A and B are shown apart, each in its own frame.
Chain A
Amino acid sequence: MSAELKQGRIVIVGASLAGLRAAETLRDEGFSGDLTLVGDEPHPPYDRPPLSKQVLLGRVPAADVGLPGRRPVDAHWKLGVRASGLDPATKEVLLANGERLPFDRLLITTGTRARPWPHPEEARLDGVLTVRTIEDAGRLAERLDAGPNRVLVIGAGFSGSEIASACRERGLAVTVAERGPAPLVGALGGTLGSFAARLQRAHGVDLRCGVTVTALTGANGRLTGAELSDGSRIEADVAVVALGAVRNTEWLAGSGLAAGPRGVACDAGCQAFTMYGIVTGEVFVAGDVARFPHPLFGYQMLALEHWGNAVEQAEVAAHNMVNPGPLRRPHLAVPSFWSSQFGLNIKSVGVPTFSDQVTIAQGSVEEGRLVVAYGYRGRITAAVSVDRAKWLDHYRHLIETAAPFPPGPGAADRPTAPKVVPSDVPDPKVLSHGPTVALTGHLPDRRLAVVRPTA
C-alpha cells in the first residue's frame, strides 16, 4: 500500500508557490512516479510579495522575482496553459488546449486572481490596473516611473496599503479610497485600523474612508479621475484596483467537488470534499484556494491568502498524497503573515479576525512599536506586532497552548494597566476589498442558529 503510493501519476494544477513546494515535497518523500505541473501563467513559479514592494519602487525588475528551488523536481511543466475541467469519472484533468491529463492523485493549487473592477468599460480605460502578476507589477512600475499627477488606490487592505506606501516613497500624490472605517481594519480590527489610518495620513496619503468609488471617468479611452459616493470627485491618471482576490475554482464546475467562490473545501489533511462532504481520497488541495478546518479556531473553515500557508499546507498535502492513513498529518500550523509599509514591519500570528477583544500587550501607539494581542472568549487567538517581530514567537506559543486572554505579564514594556477593548472586526461585507483571512463559516461573535419548528 505504502509502496504503491510512491508510484503512479500525480498532476498538480497550479504552478506557483504552493504547487512548487508540493512538487519538491513529493520527491523528498520518495515519490518516483510521473509528475506534471500545470500553470496558466507562462512563467515558472515566482514570488509575489515583492511585486507590491521592491518592484513598484523600481528597485527590482518584475522579471527578477523567480523562486529558488529547494531541489530538482523532475516534472513535466505545462506552463501558459489553463486547466478547464476535472472529470472525476475518468480521473482526468482537461486542459484548455484540448489535452486530457490522466492522474492517480491530483493536487489543486490554483490560487487566486485579482478581483477586477466591476464595470468592464471603466476597467478598460488606459491607466486602470490591478497587481497580481509579474506583468501587472511591471506595468504599474512603468506608470509610476512616468510620474503620474495622482494615483488612486481603490481598497485599503494589505495590497492597497503597500501600493500606496510605494507611491509615497516615490513622492507621488496618492488617494486611497476604502469603504470600511479604516485601512487594514478587515484583517486587524479597530485598534490597528485607526493606527494604520494615522500612519497613512502622516505619510501624506489622501485617505478617504467610508466611501466607495462610484465611477471611474475617462476621456479618449484614458483615465481622468473618479467619482466618490460622498459626492466628491478626484483627478487621477492611474487607478489601482486593490479589491482583494477571486479564488480560481470556476474550472472545477461540474467536477462534483465542494468548490465555489470561497474556495475548495477539504479536511485537515488537505483531502478535498465532494459537494456531499465526502473526502475523495485522490484529490487534494492547498494554498490560497483551499478552505480547511482548524482546531485552534473552533474548527471553522479557514481560507488563508498567506505566503506561509501556501508553503506549509503544500508540504502537508504532498506528504499525505504519498503516505498511508496512519502516517498522514493534519495541517495545524498557526497562520502567520507579514506586511511592510510606510517603513514599518507588521507581522501577525494566529487569526486576528477570530476575536472579540484586543489589548495592547507591549509598546504603544505613540511609540509606533507595539504588540496587539487578540482574544476570543478569554483565550488568546492572535497577536500582531509593529516593529516588534522578535516577540511573536512568544505569542505563537501562547496561541498554540490556548493561554488565557488577556495574556499575563511577559515583557518590560507592558503598559501599566492593560486596557481590554472590543476588537472591532467588521463584517467583511462592509469592506472595499475581500478578506485575506476568510472565516468562511461565520463571524465568531455572531454564533446563532435559527430553529423553526414545523407546525
Chain B
Amino acid sequence: MQIVVDLNRCQGYAQCVFLAPRVFELHGEEALRYAPAPPEEQAERVRRAAAACPVQAILVGEQAGAGAGADVR
C-alpha cells in the first residue's frame, strides 16, 4: 500500500491522526507527517482515515509503475 496526501488541500482537521495514529501525526499545530508506505496491518485504518478526511486529501493505492508491463532497465 502506498499513500500520498495532497498537502495543498490538507487543512489540519486531523481526522486521519485520530483514526490511524501510527501512520499520520501532526508536527506542531497543523503540519501533517505521514508514513507513505504503511504496514499492511494499518491498511484498514488508513482506508478509514482516507474516507473520513473532510477535504479528501488522502490518496490510497498501490505503487504506480510497479510490475505489469514495466520495461525497467
Q: Which residues of A contact B (CB under 8 A)?
A: 15, 20, 37, 42, 44-45, 47, 49-50, 53-54, 59-60, 64-70, 72-81, 97, 307-308, 311, 336-338, 340, 343-345, 347, 369, 387, 389-390
Per-residue interface assignment for chain B, residues 14 to 27, with 1 indicating a CB less than 8 Å from any chain A CB and 0 otherwise: 00000000000001
Known: A340-B28, A390-B12. 13 other contacts (CB 8 A): A50-B36, A59-B33, A67-B4, A67-B63, A68-B60, A68-B62, A69-B62, A78-B71, A79-B70, A80-B72, A338-B10, A340-B32, A389-B10
User: Which A residue's beta carbon lies closest to that of B70?
Assistant: A77
Asked if A387 contacts B71 (CB within 8 A), the reply is no
A-B interface contact total, Cβ < 8 Å: 119
User: Which B residue's beta carbon lies closest to that of A387?
Assistant: B29
Query: Quick one: which of A42, A47, A308, A343 contacts B27, CB cutoff 8 A?
Result: A343
The interface residues of chain B lying within 8 Å CB-to-CB of A45 are 64-65
Asked if B71 contacts A347 (CB within 8 A), the reply is no
Asked if A68 contacts B2 (CB within 8 A), the reply is yes
The interface residues of chain B lying within 8 Å CB-to-CB of A81 are 73
23 pairs, A vs B, C-beta closer than 8 Å: A45-B64, A50-B36, A54-B33, A54-B35, A60-B36, A66-B63, A68-B2, A68-B63, A68-B64, A74-B69, A75-B65, A75-B69, A77-B69, A79-B73, A311-B6, A338-B7, A338-B8, A343-B27, A344-B28, A345-B29, A389-B10, A389-B11, A389-B30
B65 to chain A, nearest CB (A): 3
The interface residues of chain A lying within 8 Å CB-to-CB of B59 are 68, 70
Interface centre among A73, A80, A311, A340 (most CB of B within 10 A): A340
Asked if A69 contacts B63 (CB within 8 A), the reply is yes
Interface size bracket, B side: 35 or more
Asked if B71 contacts A47 (CB within 8 A), the reply is no
A340 to chain B, nearest CB (A): 3
Complex: how many Å from CA A73 to CA B3?
18
Query: Quick one: which of B1, B31, B35 contacts A60, CB cutoff 8 A?
Result: B35
Complex: how many Å from CA A44 to CA B37?
14
Query: Quick one: which of A69, A79, A308, A387 contacts B61, CB cutoff 8 A?
Result: A69
A206 to chain B, nearest CB (A): 22
A47 and B4 in contact, given A70-B59, A340-B31, A345-B28 (Cβ under 8 angstroms): yes
User: Which B residue's beta carbon lies closest to that of A50?
Assistant: B36
Complex: how many Å from CA A375 to CA B60?
38
Complex: how many Å from CA A340 to CA B68?
36
B27 to chain A, nearest CB (A): 6
User: Which A residue's beta carbon lies closest to that of B66?
Assistant: A44
User: Which A residue's beta carbon lies closest to that of B60?
Assistant: A68
Asked if B6 contacts A80 (CB within 8 A), the reply is no
Asked if A307 contacts B35 (CB within 8 A), the reply is no
User: Which B residue's beta carbon lies closest to that of A309?
Assistant: B8
A380 to chain B, nearest CB (A): 19
Asked if B73 contacts A347 (CB within 8 A), the reply is no
The interface residues of chain A lying within 8 Å CB-to-CB of B36 are 47, 50, 54, 60, 64-66
B16 to chain A, nearest CB (A): 15
A36 to chain B, nearest CB (A): 8
Complex: how many Å from CA A37 to CA B72?
11
Complex: how many Å from CA A233 to CA B72?
46
The interface residues of chain A lying within 8 Å CB-to-CB of B64 are 20, 44-45, 66-69, 73
The interface residues of chain A lying within 8 Å CB-to-CB of B32 are 340, 345
The interface residues of chain A lying within 8 Å CB-to-CB of B35 are 54, 59-60, 64
Complex: how many Å from CA A162 to CA B42?
28
A399 to chain B, nearest CB (A): 14
